[in-house]
Amino acid sequence: MSTTARAFGIARSLAMYYGVPLRARRLRRFYAQFVARGSLCFDVGAHAGNRVRCWRRLGARVVAIEPQPDFVRLLKWLYGRNPGVEIVPVALGRSAGTAEMLVSERTPTVTTLSREWVEDVQRDPRFAGVRWTSGGHVPLVTLQALIERYGVPEFIKIDVEGYEAEVLAGLEVAVRALSFEYLPATRQVALDCIERLGTLGRYRYNWSTGESHALAGPRWLDATRMRAALTAMPPTAPSGDIYAVRDNA
């Protein structure tokens, strides 16, 4: 792995998530609808930790899950002494074990455990300059195992580049609210996430495009309508996050 390329990638992530004026304030306003003071949140794919910072400022306790060693070190440097943050250096999946991590040195935000996702996005012109190499194997645990250890979270953010459905396969209870990334070019992953949540409870859905930190839909949708909205997006549409709130929350 190129040290220079990796250093560039980490610096790029820091600039992206910490270097944009007013983004932190906008992020807090957005997440205030999901995260209350004293609540527990899971940040699955914590990366550089901007959600950790946001949720702590909203008064929540945070479990930050991140398998990339460089970003684990960064999270420990930024938040390791914060009593409201627990940093867990693992990946999540449908069962405990290990999995190969595919690392993009210059763009570490698209590091993934899904080789199928890599093969799919390489056909997307927006990923034309991205290359992945093996980052070795990382330990896998399940969301349910983390819940048994830390408690049931009020909110879970899942951003793991095509492995979101595998993460949700390891969840056995209907949590109050969560989000997972979608990419129209690989929309089946998000559709599988909606399908999985439907086995756990009844949820309402909305979505946010890119880093807008604003809900795009004028109203919350049931699972059928969310699937239809996702299916109608052209493959070239921007990625974003789908938000799910349990109906009886």
Delimit the domains of the chain by residue range: 19-93+140-246
Classify domain 19-93+140-246 at the CATH topology level.
Rossmann fold (3.40.50)
Q: Report the alpha-carbon distance of residue 50 to residue 228 in Å, rounded.
A: 31
Can you give the pLDDT at residue 17?
A: 65
Q: What is the full per-residue pLDDT of the chain (249 aa) written as tens digits?
A: 566 666 666 666 666 667 667 788 999 999 999 999 999 999 999 999 999 999 999 999 999 999 999 999 999 999 999 999 999 999 999 999 999 999 988 888 899 999 999 999 988 888 888 999 999 999 999 999 999 999 999 999 999 999 999 999 999 999 999 999 999 999 999 999 999 999 999 999 999 999 889 999 999 999 999 999 999 999 889 999 999 999 975
pLDDT of residue 1: 53
Please check whether residue 140 is in contact with residue 97, taking contact to mean a CB–CB distance below 8 angstroms. yes
Total-model pTM: 0.92
pLDDT reported for residue 12? 65
Q: Are 205 and 242 in contact (CB under 8 A)?
A: yes
Closest CA to 159 of 240, 231, 245, 232: 240
Q: Would you state the pLDDT for residue 2?
A: 61
What's the pLDDT score for residue 14? 67
